[in-house]
Structure 1
Amino acid sequence: MKNGRSLVGLAEELERQLASKKDLVVPTQMLRHDTDDQGHTQLVVQEGGGAVRYGVTALARRQLAEKLKIPFAYFERMRSEQPVLLDHNVNTWLQSDEERRMIRTLDGKVRAVLSERYRRLDNFDLAESVLPVLQRLPEVRFESMELTETKMYLKCVTPQLRQEIAPGDVVQAGVVISNSEVGHGLLSVQPLIYRLVCSNGLIVSDRSLRKTHVGRSVGGGEDDGITVFKDDTLCADDKAFFLRVRDVVEAAVSETAFRMATEKLQRTQGMPLSGDPVKTVEVLAQRYALNDSERSGVLRHLVTGGDLSGYGLVNAVTHFSQEVEDYDRATEFEALGGKLIELNRSEWAELVAG
C-alpha cells in the first residue's frame, strides 16, 4: 500500500483547509474569465461590492469548459495560443447562461465549478465523524492517509480479523474511506484486505456505501446575488448522513464482510493463467486502461512473484500500486485488485485467452 500522510499531518492539513476555503453560489452573469499572456486564468467574481479575482486550477478549468460545452482540448489550445479568443468565448457563454454555479475555492483559487445542487460532504466533517469510530477498532493501524487535489483517503487495518490464504500468507481486515469535495467522485466506504507479506492493499468492490454529492438547490429564492456558504451552515441532514457513514464503517470491518472477501480472494488461487502471461497482462491493460509503463510493471511483478494464477495476478496488480507516484492512481490499482477477485471462471478464462 502506498504511503501517505500521518494522522497528525492529515488533521493539520484539514484544519488549515477549513480556514482557507470558501464556497459561493453565483449567477453565471456575475462571473468573468480573464487569461494573461502566459495562459494563467482567473475567474473574476463581483462579490461584496467589488471584483474579487481567483486563480483557477486545472480541474476547475475542465469543469468550466464542460459546463459551457466547450471541448476541453479546444479550451486548452485557446488558453495557450489565443487567450483573448478564450476569454471572448467563455465570457459570451457565461453571459448567456442562466444557471447558478457553486464555486468552491481554496487558498484563493477556484478548485471546482459545480452545479448549485452539488451537496457538500466535506472532508473535515467526514474525518470528525469517522476517526473516533476508526480509533475504537481493536489494535487499529492507520496504514495510509492522504489529501490529494481531488480526494481524501483514510485506509485503516485491524489485526483482529485475519486469515491465512496460503501457508505463511496472511491477510488482515481493513476499511478505506474516500471522498471528493470537488466533484471528482462519490463518498465511499469499502472493505480493505491487507496482505502482510508485501504490504499490499486490495479494495473490495462490494458491500460499500457510495453517496452522490447531489441534493436540493442551495441559495435559491428571489435573490439574484451571490450566496457565500461557510462550513457552519451545513444542514442537519448532512450530520445525520455522517452518522450513517459511521455505521457502514463498522459493517465494512465486520467478520462477515471479511470472510466473504477472503473467500473470493482464495478462489483466485484455483484460476490458472494457462496461456502466455504476457498476453494475459496485455488483455488486462486493454480492458482496464493501463498505460505501457503500468502494463510492464504489473508483468514484472507477476513474473517475479512466480505465481501464474489469478491470485498471482491480483497480487501483481496490488503490489505494483506501491510504485505508482500518483496517490489517486495507486488507489485505482488497489481497487482493480478488488475487481479481479469478483471475476467468475468464465471471465477469468476470457482474460487468459484474450
Structure 2
Amino acid sequence: MTIASPLPPLTLRNATLDDLVEVLRAQHARKIDVIVPAERLRAVGTHLELIGTEPLVSEDGVTATAGRYLPTAHCDQDIATKLGIPSPYLRRLREENGRLYDANVNGWLQADPHRRFLFRGLAGSGRTGIGRALLSNSYKVIDNLDVLMAALDGIKESGVAVQIDGADLTERRMFLRVACEQIQAYAPELVGDYRSPFSGASAAAYPVVFAGFLLANSETGDGAFTITPRLTLQVCRNGMTINRDVVREVHLGGRMDDGIVRWSQDTLAKSMQLVTARARDAVRTFLDVDYVQAKITELAREARVAVTEPEKTIEFVSTRLSFTKDQQQLILQHFYKGGAITAGGVMHAVTSAAQLLDDAEKAFEMESRGVEAMHLAAAF
C-alpha cells in the first residue's frame, strides 16, 4: 500500500454536501474490498493482516492489498461478532492486553480456516491501512459515493427544488438531511407554546413545518440504504422522522469467491438505477403538501397531551428508549427551555437536544426516536 496522500477522515458532522462528496471521493480512491478465507487473516499487534491476497489493479495503478490494517471500533465489533468473541471483552483486550487480543482472534480464525469473509478497508499512506469492516461474503456492496450520486440524480429527476440541511459521516453510516422549504404547511397545534431553545423565538409566530427526508446508507454492514420522511420546524430546524414510512433497500447478494471484489458496470448500474428510482419516487411522495399536512394531523393528536410530571415523564421516556443519563438531563433542559409542557414538547426536546450531540450516530439515534418519545410521554 503506497498511496502518498494523507488518509481521508472517517467522520464528518454537520458538513456541507461539497465536503461530504470530497471525503467520499477520497475514501473511494483508497477502498480495498477482498474476499478472503480465515487462513489468510491473522491478528498482529492488534492489527488485522491480510496474507498473500492479490493486488488491486485500477486506472490509477497497482495497490497492494496484502498487509496490515488497523481496525476501527466498528471493525473490531465485526471481528467479535463473526468470531463469537464478546465485544466488550475484545475492546478491553485492545486497550489493555494486545497479545491476548491477537491470541483470541487468531485462535478463532484458525478454528475454521476455510471460512470466507468480505474485508473492507482503506489503503494507507505507508505500510498500514484502515480496516473498516469484516462482513459476510454474501454482502452486497453499495458504496456511499455511488448511493449519494444516484440519489441526487433521483432528486433532480423529480423536478423538486430542495435544500441540503446538513450531512454526517461515521465509521458506520452516511446521513444526508434534505429539506424542501417551498413545500410547507402550518402546524399551530403541533408546535403549541413551543419556543426555540436556541434562540428563544416563539414557534407560535412561525408555526411552519417544511417537507423533507433523511437519506442514509452503510457500506460497512450497519444497516440498509434508507430514505425516511423528515419534517423540519422552521423555528429551530428540529427534525421529526416518520420511521414507519421508510423506504429501504437491504444489502443482500450472492456469495462471492476469493479475491478482489469486482462488481461489473452492468451490476453497479442496475443497483444505482434502483437507488435513483427510489429517491425520485420518495421525493414525489414525501415532498408533497398533502403528505406533510396528513403527518402533521397525525402527530398533533398526541402533541397536545399535557405533561403533568415532566421529570418523571422524561425519566420514563429515557429509560424506555435507552437514552443515557447525560442525554436525559439534556432533554430535560431542552424541555423546560422549550416551554411546551406537553407530549409534543417532549418530542421537540428530544429532537433539539440531538442537534447538540457531537457523535453523529448518537444524534441520529436520538432524533429518530423523537416521535416515539412523544407517544410514550402521551401514554405515561
Same fold per superposition (TM over 0.5): yes
Residue 271 of structure 1 aligns with an amino acid whose one-letter code is V
Q: Structure 1 residues 176 and 48, CA, compared in 2 at 3 Å: closer, same or farther? A: same
Displacement after TM superposition at 1:268 (Å):
2.7
Displacement after TM superposition at 1:230 (Å):
6.2
Residue 307 of structure 1 aligns with an amino acid whose one-letter code is A
Q: Does residue 48 of structure 2 align to residue 45 of structure 1?
A: no
* Separation (CA, whole Å) in 2 of partners of 1:109 and 1:234: 27
Q: Report if the CA contact (8 A) 1:191-1:258 is conserved.
A: no
Residue 30 of structure 1 aligns with which residue? 40
Q: Structure 1 residues 102 and 3, CA, compared in 2 at 3 Å: closer, same or farther? A: closer
Displacement after TM superposition at 1:205 (Å):
1.1
Residue 34 of structure 2 aligns with an amino acid whose one-letter code is L
Question: Which residue of 291, 296, 300 maps to 1:266?
Answer: 300
Q: Structure 1 residues 137 and 320, CA, compared in 2 at 3 Å: closer, same or farther? A: farther
Residue 76 of structure 1 aligns with which residue? 91
* Separation (CA, whole Å) in 1 of partners of 2:97 and 2:334: 46
Larger mean Cα displacement after TM superposition, 85-94 or 45-54? 45-54
Q: Does residue 23 of structure 2 align to residue 13 of structure 1?
A: yes
- CA-to-partner distance for each residue in 1:211-245, whole Å, 9 max, x for gaps? 222221123xxxxx423436858445423422332
Q: Report if the CA contact (8 A) 1:23-1:230 is conserved.
A: no
Residue 288 of structure 2 aligns with which residue? 254
Unaligned runs of at least 5 residues, structure 2 = 1-11, 56-63, 124-128, 189-203
Residue 221 of structure 2 aligns with which residue? 183
- CA-to-partner distance for each residue in 1:290-330, whole Å, 9 max, x for gaps? 11111111111111222111111111111111111112211
Displacement after TM superposition at 1:7 (Å):
1.7
Structure 2 residue matching 1:120: 3-state secondary structure: coil
Residue 120 of structure 2 aligns with which residue? 104
* Separation (CA, whole Å) in 2 of partners of 1:251 and 1:146: 24
Larger mean Cα displacement after TM superposition, 252-261 or 312-321? 252-261
Unaligned runs of at least 5 residues, structure 1 = 220-224
Superposition pairs of residues 136-285 of structure 1, within 5 angstroms? 138-166=160-188, 167-168=204-205, 169-219=207-257, 225-229=258-262, 234-246=267-279, 247-274=281-308, 276-285=309-318
Q: Does residue 152 of structure 2 align to residue 131 of structure 1?
A: yes
Structure 1 residue matching 2:285: 3-state secondary structure: helix
Residue 7 of structure 2 aligns with which residue? none
Residue 61 of structure 1 aligns with which residue? 76
Residue 180 of structure 2 aligns with an amino acid whose one-letter code is T
Q: Report if the CA contact (8 A) 1:43-1:110 is conserved.
A: no
* Separation (CA, whole Å) in 2 of partners of 1:251 and 1:133: 13
Residue 145 of structure 2 aligns with an amino acid whose one-letter code is F
TM-score, reference length from structure 1: 0.87
* Separation (CA, whole Å) in 2 of partners of 1:281 and 1:11: 38
Residue 327 of structure 1 aligns with which residue? 360
* Separation (CA, whole Å) in 2 of partners of 1:226 and 1:139: 43
- CA-to-partner distance for each residue in 1:42-63, whole Å, 9 max, x for gaps? 3233213884222211111111
Count of aligned pairs between the two proteins: 336
* Separation (CA, whole Å) in 2 of partners of 1:178 and 1:196: 23
- CA-to-partner distance for each residue in 1:247-297, whole Å, 9 max, x for gaps? 2343222334322321122223321113x1000000011001111111111
Larger mean Cα displacement after TM superposition, 161-170 or 291-300? 161-170
Residue 215 of structure 1 aligns with an amino acid whose one-letter code is G
Larger mean Cα displacement after TM superposition, 74-83 or 144-153? 74-83
* Separation (CA, whole Å) in 1 of partners of 2:32 and 2:278: 25
Larger mean Cα displacement after TM superposition, 158-167 or 294-303? 158-167
Q: Structure 1 residues 209 and 180, CA, compared in 2 at 3 Å: closer, same or farther? A: same
* Separation (CA, whole Å) in 1 of partners of 2:159 and 2:365: 25
* Separation (CA, whole Å) in 2 of partners of 1:306 and 1:73: 40
Q: Report if the CA contact (8 A) 1:29-1:96 is conserved.
A: no
Larger mean Cα displacement after TM superposition, 4-13 or 86-95? 86-95
* Separation (CA, whole Å) in 1 of partners of 2:271 and 2:81: 28
Q: Does residue 109 of structure 2 align to residue 94 of structure 1?
A: yes
Structure 1 residue matching 2:24: 3-state secondary structure: helix
Q: Report if the CA contact (8 A) 1:24-1:229 is conserved.
A: no
Q: Report if the CA contact (8 A) 2:317-2:373 is conserved.
A: no
* Separation (CA, whole Å) in 1 of partners of 2:27 and 2:243: 30
Residue 103 of structure 1 aligns with an amino acid whose one-letter code is F
Displacement after TM superposition at 1:152 (Å):
0.9
